[in-house]
Amino acid sequence: MKFTSLLNPLLLLIVLVVCLPALSQDMNDLKLKNYRPVSIYKVQQTKIERAKFPVIDFHSHDYPKSDAELDAWVKRMDQLNISKTLILSYSTGATLDSLIEKYSRYKDRFEVWCGFDYTGHEKPGWEKHAVAELERCYKKGARGVGELGDKGLGELYSKPTPGNGLHIDDPAMKPLLEKCAELKMPVSIHVAEDQWMYEKIDSTNDGLMNASTWRVDQTKKGILGHDALIKTLENAVRNNPNTTFVACHLANTNSDMSVLGRLFDLYSNLYADISARFGEFSPIPRYAKAFFEKYNDRLVYGTDMGPNNEMYYTTFRILESADEHFYDHRLFSYHWPLYGLNLNDETLQKVYGQNARKILSH
């Protein structure tokens, strides 16, 4: 008994000697990618588990892997006050047909959008086939097109065939965009990435931790930069005034929202979703609030981050609350804190659902 009583303090001393250096890490050894600050401020913390007004999620994808997971998503939508979710499928052909069938059990809760069929786009005349497939997708049930995407090399991601080398303002895209106008099918399009993805990966990059993951390789032959891609969007919007465009992720202009504001001022057929950029605009709450409230007729809610409760709670908190200096490291890997925009009710109603209903009813 005496030996045991002497041994325990000895073990404790050894543990403290070995472990204390690890617990109090040397700053010189701390890696930026492991930086996970916890706010020290004793300020308001709001948990919003249900959106203040009915929501249409204008930017989501095919996440459920089974009927049970789809049922669970609908139950979650009921709890959160989400009336409808748009499934941006990128798809045409048999894949699109299977997705429309998959979500047909909840026709009032989901809307599946298709892609463009770029098969044979290297050869003249491919547009006729693409327009015919678009019409077929519409008859099957698709009511919009998207998410198209162009990070510099074209592609305009669609399945099963991407449009490599095609940008949205390419003359070959004109018949498709005109057909969208005729069928009243809005076009959801992702152009470029936010500015951090183009800056040097060094100590001066404000968004370094995300930029290192999503960096755009500007050395690729023929790649368009950020501003050139925004110009392709503007050209398409201007040249197709009867087609409704929805620029994903605030057109990736979060570092300078005046770029998007100028386009809103010029073109009434352009909208933007706010999906997957809550971590980009919430660090500048006063500027973002002013922008959202000025252009509250042109913005739609979206997520693009998978259907889980905590993700929705954080987006509601950012839009509705006046909370300051909080983090969500599960969703965002930037080093900066988040802030609530405390949007007024008029703006919340429009962004959450009214603008989406207006677009979908065209």
Residue pLDDT, tens place only, 314-345? 999 999 999 999 999 888 888 889 999 999 99
Q: What percent of the chain has pLDDT over 90?
A: 74
- For residue 2, pLDDT over 80 is answered with no
Mean of pLDDT values over 24-40: 79
Residue 34: its H or E element? none
Q: Which DSSP state fits 249?
A: G
Q: What is the pTM of this model?
A: 0.91
- For residue 19, pLDDT over 90 is answered with no
Phi and psi, residue 40, nearest 5°: -95, -5
pLDDT score at 10 = 52
- For residue 125, pLDDT over 70 is answered with yes
Mean of pLDDT values over 270-275: 98
Q: What percent of the chain has pLDDT over 70?
A: 93
Q: Is 187 helix (H, G, I), strand (E, B) or coil?
A: strand
Q: Which DSSP state fits 198?
A: T
pLDDT digits (tens, 9 = 90+) for 37-86: 888 989 899 999 999 999 999 999 999 999 999 999 999 999 999 999 99
- For residue 1, pLDDT over 50 is answered with no
Instruction: Report yes or no: 141 and 93 within 8 Å, Cβ to Cβ.
Output: no
What tokens does 36 get?
A: 């996970």
- Determine the Cα–Cα distance for residues 214 and 218; give it in Å rounded to an integer: 12
What tokens does 150 get?
A: 């162009």
Band (287; pLDDT cuts 50, 70, 90): very high
What tokens does 40 get?
A: 């020290």
Could you report how far apart the first and last alpha carbons of the chain are, in Å?
Answer: 84
pLDDT digits (tens, 9 = 90+) for 290-315: 999 999 999 999 999 999 999 999 99
Whether omega before 280 lies within 30 degrees of 0, making that bond cis, reads: no
Q: Is 201 left (phi over 0), alpha (psi -120 to 50) or beta?
A: beta
CA 328 vs CA 32, 207, 294, 315: distances in Å: 16, 15, 27, 11
> For the ranges 17-31, 149-163, 175-189, which has the lowest average pLDDT?
17-31
Band (23; pLDDT cuts 50, 70, 90): low
Domains of the chain: 51-304+344-360 (3.20.20.140)
pLDDT score at 24 = 59
pLDDT score at 9 = 57
Mean pLDDT, the chain, as a whole number? 91
pLDDT score at 7 = 46
Q: Which of 97 and 212 is assigned the larger pLDDT?
A: 97
